[in-house]
Structure 1
Amino acid sequence: MDKELEQLAPSKRSAAKTIYATLKILKEAGGQLPGKEVIDKIRKTIQFSDWEKQVYEKTGYVRWESILHFYTVDCIKAGFLRKNKGTWYLTEEGEKAIALGPVKLLTTASRLYKDWANNNKGQKTAPVSDEVIEDIEENQPQQQKANLNQLEEQAIAGIKDFIRSKTAYEFQDMVAALLRAMGYHTPFISPKGKDGGLDIIAHADPLGATEPRIKVQVKHWPDNAIRVDDIRSLTGLLSKEGDIGLFVTSGYFTSESERSARESHRHVKLIDVNTFIDLWQEFYPSMADDDKNMLPLHPIYFLGSND
């Protein structure tokens, strides 16, 4: 073991090696991964002690995982890491910070978090101190934030696994249900077979007399990126004045695809799986019961955090 790591208290030693591994894993993955996959990769690459593998009585979480989530709060405030809907993103600053090594990376993140907390004294933040926090469960504000992040990631992972289990046509029906909840009419939903490039056509009124007319392409590719050629193909189908293109995927878009949509002479909106989940949650109360059953949700409210 590295001598610098040996000199750290157990919690910080575990944090240093898992935070460092997290940033390296994200870099190797191209800058982003679901948090669940990051955890799985760390579990396979780091040998943990029996102490690290113990489960906290209060939360039921494995100690090293709880420690990692706790210190990712430091990394987020330091600007090294971002989290959104269960996906973890490595920032440019985070990629540079890998060169610091495990120990200096952790101390730098903690120092920057301390600076952030000192500059936001009006908010309820974790205690700012140089003392080693051996039982992180006692650091209530930061542990609360870490626990909420962990619960959100578990919830989003469950929703994404549910979406992944659907067939392409079931996902297409979910997209149509979302559009109806948003107030649109869906007179055309492609049956199985050749669809001419369009999966759904939606109108703002029952007769389709009011603009816009939304032409929708749906791809159920949870593990793949939508390429720029797919965006261009949809753009080519926007032949009438008032046509809007909507591309929905259960996966994600390449940066080139996103740029193509932004720069298109036609209005093209892209919805990846994270945005789809956001919209499903937002419009869920407006859905008919049959549509809700395509992706049933149950809201649970926890005490939040002010930071």
Structure 2
Amino acid sequence: MGKARNSKSLKLAEKLIFTAFGVLKQHNGELQGRKVIEEVGKRVDLDAWAKARYEKSGKVRWESILQFYTIDCRKAGFLLKNNGIWYLTPEGEAALELGESNLLLQASYAYQEWKARQVVDNVDEEEEEKEEQERSKKLSEATIDEYEEIAIEGLKAFVANLNPYEFQDVVAALLRGMGYYTPFIAPKGKDGGLDVIAYRDPLGTVTPRMKVQIKHRETAATVSEIRQLMGLLQREGDVGIFVSTGGFTADAKATARNSHVHVELIDFDRFIGLWQDFYEKLPDEDKKRLPLTPIYFLGQ
């Protein structure tokens, strides 16, 4: 079944997957998929064959091989993917101890076990045809993953080019898509620490009442900035929302997590995920602030 263990593509896959897991481990178990691929490309010695593009698809061979074999790793429970982010599971981190060859071998075994548990039809097909169908299905999954990651990167680049006030309006639009009213959006100038106030009803009589601080920059939000927002949550039912495209320091996350008031942190990746989730609920005028286009694939 499958390719010989010493095939050229499989040997390369072993190095690529092992290196990708190492990259994720060095980044605390999670990283944007495209950045994982970039790091792998820097760390693995790739020859002309690996760097060549497939004639039909135009895709770079080594990148396609890496994407292809991440499917085995996902079915094995070693790797998760969500909104373009790759996550190394505890099982995946432990699998690093197996070494290059055995890690992918274990993932492939787990994939076969997963496949065996699926509902199969009873038609007696030729073994070669069955393997070709399975390969096509895995390649389709890999292609979808790749397009999703490219789409996420495009969204991030678009948002990064917005000025702080444009991004503030996008955040307010998202809240409206989530069913909130936004009676206050800070004008240019001093805002008293709040950028948006959002209510469940037009008058703000129904909890929760959202007080939103927004930082659109590359640097991470700090503990002092989180505490500043916490100090503005004076009334019962107040909830603090801190949106930071630069993410949060570890101490800032701990402060929000352990706070006696509710402070919700939204980093760049979570914001993009929420925008995708609630996009269809936005009015057309708000959709134009960060427009999305659906791409349809044949269902399996």
Which one of the candidate residues 47, 55, 58 is aligned to 1:57?
Answer: 55
Equivalents in 2 of 1:121, 1:91: separation in Å? 23
Residues 121, 209 of structure 1: CA spacing in aligned structure 2 closer, same or farther, 3 A cutoff?
Answer: closer
Residues 123, 213 of structure 1: CA spacing in aligned structure 2 closer, same or farther, 3 A cutoff?
Answer: farther
Is the contact between residue 75 and residue 81 of structure 1 (CA under 8 Å) also seen in structure 2? yes
Post-superposition offset of 1:60? 2.5
Q: Match of 2:187, SS?
A: coil
Cross-structure match for 1:4:
none
1:76 matches 2:101: no
1:145 matches 2:145: no
Which one of the candidate residues 148, 151, 155 is aligned to 1:155?
Answer: 151
Cross-structure match for 1:190:
186
Cross-structure match for 2:124:
none
Residues 277, 41 of structure 1: CA spacing in aligned structure 2 closer, same or farther, 3 A cutoff?
Answer: same
Equivalents in 1 of 2:259, 2:138: separation in Å? 44
Residues 138, 78 of structure 1: CA spacing in aligned structure 2 closer, same or farther, 3 A cutoff?
Answer: closer
Post-superposition offset of 1:87? 1.2
Which one of the candidate residues 118, 121, 144 is aligned to 1:121?
Answer: 118
Cross-structure match for 2:39:
41
Equivalents in 2 of 1:82, 1:106: separation in Å? 15
1:9 matches 2:7: yes
Post-superposition offset of 1:136? 8.5
Which aligned pairs between 1:1-307 and structure 2 lie closer than 5 A?
8-118=6-116, 120-122=117-119, 139-221=135-217, 223-254=218-249, 257-305=252-300
Residue identity opposite 1:42 in structure 2: V
Is the contact between residue 203 and residue 212 of structure 1 (CA under 8 Å) also seen in structure 2? yes
Post-superposition offset of 1:48? 1.8
Residues 287, 14 of structure 1: CA spacing in aligned structure 2 closer, same or farther, 3 A cutoff?
Answer: same
Residues 20, 136 of structure 1: CA spacing in aligned structure 2 closer, same or farther, 3 A cutoff?
Answer: farther
Return the TM-score normalized by structure 2: 0.86
Identity among equivalent positions (%) equals 52
Equivalents in 1 of 2:265, 2:26: separation in Å? 26
Q: Match of 1:197, SS?
A: coil
Q: Match of 1:244, SS?
A: strand
Residues 157, 137 of structure 1: CA spacing in aligned structure 2 closer, same or farther, 3 A cutoff?
Answer: farther
Gaps of 5+ in 2: 122-126
Which deviates more from structure 2 when the two are superposed, residues 90-99 or residues 139-148? Answer: 90-99
Equivalents in 1 of 2:220, 2:112: separation in Å? 38
Equivalents in 1 of 2:206, 2:244: separation in Å? 26
Show CA shifts across 1:192-229 (max 9, x none). Answer: 332222111112233333333210011223x4444444
Equivalents in 2 of 1:65, 1:87: separation in Å? 16
Residue identity opposite 1:176 in structure 2: A
Residue identity opposite 1:30 in structure 2: N
Residue identity opposite 2:24 in structure 1: L
Query: RMSD of the alignment, in Å?
Result: 2.8
Is the contact between residue 228 and residue 256 of structure 1 (CA under 8 Å) also seen in structure 2? yes
Post-superposition offset of 1:137? 9.3
Equivalents in 2 of 1:138, 1:51: separation in Å? 25
Cross-structure match for 1:127:
none
Equivalents in 1 of 2:173, 2:202: separation in Å? 15
Show CA shifts across 1:203-258 (max 9, x none). Answer: 2233333333210011223x444444433332221101221211222243456544
Residues 137, 40 of structure 1: CA spacing in aligned structure 2 closer, same or farther, 3 A cutoff?
Answer: farther
Divergent runs of 4+, >6 A: 135-138
Which deviates more from structure 2 when the two are superposed, residues 27-36 or residues 246-255? Answer: 246-255
